[in-house]
Chain A
């Protein structure tokens, strides 16, 4: 029995009541909705002959009596709300269909007495049958179910393949969803300290600097803490007072004050220098680690929704992490020490006044905390409205041609004004809030001073306390608030820093899907024979994009690939250059599995021109030379000529030195395509893949390039993927790809004679040409 989801006992009991014994069950899976779209546990159970859907939920009932007692344990039952039954032999072509937010399992119902093969185009096909709905979360399980069901129908028996073992999606500890099922790290249960510990090594390299920074911060805060005592208590009580030990020695005090100032200044300078050098290095290191993921990780990392977004934050994250360790963390230590030291000094100066302050301070802190929370919200509102305004600005300026062409200036101004107004409002709210609440905090603090003045003054009059001591005490009580501000604010930046560190760890931990062989077979001279053997591949788990494709390309010949969009044509090219790895089957070049060829050999010998061209910001020359930086000018010009790019490049004022890319010269789609073809040609590869390379060009240019390519493809293995069959007229062999399968394979003539899909396409395109009066 294969249980994609494990059946609970109460369900087995229920099924038994229904006459379905556990031993007859071959395959089960659980949906979270039933056929009517009601949320419940809907179990799909297959036996040798039947398919049963039983929906409901676990219900817990007290046994017999209503009261639950120790001796009277709970009774667990499966509360059934829906039940459907099908004969398995009636159903064929099980399919997982995507809806908008949910999906459905459907099948075709074979109608008795109807011969499948007689199912001509016009005859009514078999009826459809909806089996169940389920949410997207269970889609992968259902793809698996369909696969096993096929095996069950075919062989009458299924065995579980360990490779299909589903990733555990939920954390066993807290029941929450793993962010990435492969890593099995629950965001909720993850330990903060662990994250911080993982990031620390970046800073160990610079421990010397960090120690210096720590020492300097300690020194400067020590000076800061001691200074009021010298300025106030010592000066007033010991120097200015007749009974003082240092009465009259004003100069001494002045030197002391000056000395402290100097120490403070030098310490500040040293810490500044240390900070500056470590800041640059650490952020550089961090960015390097994050950015080098480009080399290490496979393309699937960057294209997946789960992980792709991580990379966009490289810059901010590096700064945030640096800031946490070099600013935030030391200040955290310092501020804690400061608070403790100040409290101790206050206690020594006057315990009674200290106790009074300790009653007042918590109120101030709670008040500050509330204000900061609200302030944080106002800040993020302001931030998002600023972002909204900026996006309109760049949108409109970037598309100013379209705005003008449709004379939409007034509307755009209106749109901008509304956003701008929102920003202004939010700005104002923030300003008003900050400017009304902070004085209130100050007043509250002032209030605490007044209380101290009152009580302290009374003590001074009674002779229990010195005037200088009182002044010092007040300075200290005010000094204690600034570390408090720091702690109130800490919650925000700590979570920011932890997020950033977590993203960093996620990138560091990511494992590439496509791994280069440790001992690659040396391939100094590739001939270009390619064979695909029984290839299967899926981007999404359990959903095949390529399903059992086998073909050979002789060295130096041209293979044309035809098929509708989304049929998997480009995927074949991606598999050949190992942007992704095949799930089953083998791709071989010169009889060597591509997995055993080093990335360098593989990609050095294969050039790909795809339908999406990407040109980097830089000159045309740099872009053409991208794949072969040591190319000579002669080679560049030849390559550009071959791709019909030379002529249009020479019409530009700066010719090959023209800057292209964002903010510079705008090239048309065809021009960009020709530059990327030049790039591929310059590399002089043994294997050339043209993936709709000429699709965005006018027919004349295409002809030009075609004739250039004809010369070029001689002696090269070429894979041409195209919609227009005319593009493929030179192909030695053709394959037709449809829904991941390869229904047709052969030469042009063979396929025409076969009168299948290729023939139909050919006829359609020929008819289209005839209609406009062109005949070939």
Chain B
């Protein structure tokens, strides 16, 4: 009884909730047929460490805008979390590169360099932009609600099909482009 009391006072959230954090010792990522695989050392229910191979794992950012390259959840094929990568540098170099590649692919959204034209018609707007993927045109419905401000100057535009386009820094846009989007910010 007495012991219990003592341990209880020491208990912090950390002791109660066990999160598997991956590092170079317990996780190695690889790529096969363009998909990410994982070799991990995980504790089983008995507390023993065993080797587990995952032929395909999925990644999901916990803080996609603030911390895109830390706290990355690693999920198995049933979308169950296997563990979390706290910092990329915790992993070996090859794994780091593979994770970065995979994240770029999953979260890929063309980055808008200049806005050529914006035309509003009856509540819809038609955009022509130049992006890192070349010239694009897309349509927004309800322009105000389709332009999401993330943080100070970062903007995401979500089109009618739910495709996303990013403007990493609106204030870094050239003057003419900025004037075109200014009204919606």
Contact = CB atoms under 8 A, between A and B. Distances in A.
A179 B34 contact: no
Nearest to B179: A377
A139 B159 CA distance: 14
Interface stretch (B38-46, B86-94, B117-125, B169-177): B117-125
Interface string B134-150: 10011101100100000
A145 interface: no
Nearest to A133: B105
A495 interface: yes
Given A37-B104, A100-B106, A179-B122, 7 more contacts: A38-B133, A127-B32, A135-B161, A136-B163, A179-B124, A195-B122, A503-B123
Nearest to A502: B122
A38 B105 CA distance: 10
B123 A499 contact: yes
Given A101-B108, A102-B163, A188 B55 contact: no
A35 B56 CA distance: 17
B33 A128 contact: yes
Contacts of A407: none
Contact of A127 (B55, B119, B133, B142): B55
A305 interface: yes
A176 interface: yes
10 contacts: A39-B134, A100-B106, A101-B107, A125-B55, A128-B56, A135-B161, A187-B121, A306-B160, A377-B182, A498-B122
A102 B161 CA distance: 10
A177 B32 contact: no
Given A101-B164, A137-B161, A130 B34 contact: yes
B58 to A, nearest CB: 9
Contacts of B138: 177
A301 to B, nearest CB: 15
A187 B142 CA distance: 13
Contacts of A176: 126, 137, 139
A100 B34 contact: no
A306 B124 CA distance: 11
Interface of A: 35, 37-39, 99-102, 106, 109, 124-125, 127-130, 133, 135-137, 139, 176-177, 179, 187-188, 190, 195, 305-306, 309, 377, 380, 495, 498-499, 502-503
Contacts of A139: 161
Interface in B70-119: 104-110, 119
Contacts of B145: 309
Contacts of A190: 121-122
B53 interface: yes
A306 B34 CA distance: 35
B133 A39 contact: yes
B121 A100 contact: no
A187 B32 contact: no
B107 A100 contact: yes
Contacts of A137: 161, 163
B33 A179 contact: no
Contact of B55 (A128, A135, A187): A128
Contact of B121 (A133, A136, A188, A305): A188
Contact of B109 (A101, A187, A499): A101
B162 interface: yes
Nearest to B126: A176
A63 B5 CA distance: 88
Interface string B12-43: 00000000000000000000111100000000
B73 to A, nearest CB: 14
Nearest to B52: A122
A190 B120 CA distance: 13
Given A99-B108, A377-B183, A502-B122, A179 B163 contact: no
A106 B121 CA distance: 38
Residue of B106, B110, B126 contacting most chain A CB atoms (<10 Å): B106
